[in-house]
Structure 1
């Protein structure tokens, strides 16, 4: 007799419901960010060095963090149009003026303008600062800022709900690019007759003749000057080349600013260009820059004759 055997297999499935997020990260109120605005008016020299901050705005939105046990990533993006040639400065509608954003690097850390960063924190309040700089990006024009960029911030992590906020800029800024006018656009030095005995050796000088370059400037403008050899623009020495029509040889012309010998540079108004020198900072109104021209012996062989030289002055208003 056959006996049927029957077995029963029982599978018990237990599913534990785990919370999707174990901690919290939040602003004092959803999406809250401080109100940032720049000065109502700013002014700068036309050729102020790029990167110079003309106005800064700071804010602390604050963050509350509790129970987190994962890596939190802070992602930053900016809604704006980049200034050509820059990767982190945005247009303002005023030539030569842009906006750069910064944010706290981590909890209470230093400033960063990177697109993202990662950090951990268990709980407690944090300082969460934002900053915006109104910076020079090129020759400063005049106008009023408009359509200012904004910064979008997002915090993500496996242990928190995603948190977002937008940092905006309010108001507008009137920008003035300061420059000077030349009251003596041309200087014509007439050096006295010199003799070989006045130039006994290479490097000897004679015939000092002084004239003043006149300007009219707003107060506070730092005036830089670059002198360029018009006959040989690549000349970076302190001896001006002789111009066509000169019959002398073994002699050149030097230009002296006060007691300082001037070396020649490129025809450029960019702040800090090669051999640019600072004539001073205007108190407002007329400004005089005394310059002296003189002969200099440049060779062991000295040939008598006429001496002509040509140079251009490029002004930089910083």
Structure 2
């Protein structure tokens, strides 16, 4: 409870002079407390959407930003102190690990490290910008988000006047690329906690109540947390119909394959992808039944019908008519922004002599990689 000034005076008669003026002033020894009392705020969490890194993505903010507002209220705290005057310095502290190497563009905000290489978390704030100097609780990393001044006011219903109160602080969080990225999942981070330091001014000369001074910051009474978020790389996707291809070669006479190494019945086919622009693309072909000749698949004994041909394989060629090198990633250039159509060829290849007529079939697997 706040105390009022107590005065007394005495008069005698209509023309009496003021005979006495007395002030009852009770002087109490200031009390000391190590820790400031805590104000009130909330714990807030922010969720960011999954971010896909595009080829050629420059360093800086990436993906969508998200916001959260925390309101700090010190009315009840002031009401529970014995002081005539309290100045509550609201502070952000206990910051998550900082990026000691990189700084945000323009120096606005704070960069926090994450467990995903090449990705930080950028935090900015309003109305006081987030900084990582030594202005947090008890001189630790952090910043002052504002001050709530409270004093006794006999004209109010509860005898208190705190202004500005509450203090709303709006935080904005966004992912920030700092270098080469390895895709992964950023684990949740408590970015900061909220504290306050109660700075008490000397009481008025007539104040008769107890005054308590505080030498340390309060315990944490609010926090801001980033929920886990995934970071992926934008990818090429195989078009419908290209994931499993069946290439039918024309029927040819055995005389077209008269000598070992001769070829016949060439047929083109294509593999289609959709890609963002900028990736360097590589195709790897492989088979379980390679022949000695480059790019040749030995015939399978599991053809669906008829007698398998003998001394005949299937050779795969790149778009430049050069044989495919099995199990070797071969460059197919840079991806366009959209549809990618890769042309290949298949043909009969005489692996020996003489040729025996029959069915010829073989299987190859293709794998697209990009960087």
| TM-score interval for Structure 1 and Structure 2 normalised by the shorter chain | 0.3 to 0.5
Structure ID, larger Rg = 2
TM-score, normalised to structure 1, is 0.45
TM-score, normalised to structure 2, is 0.39
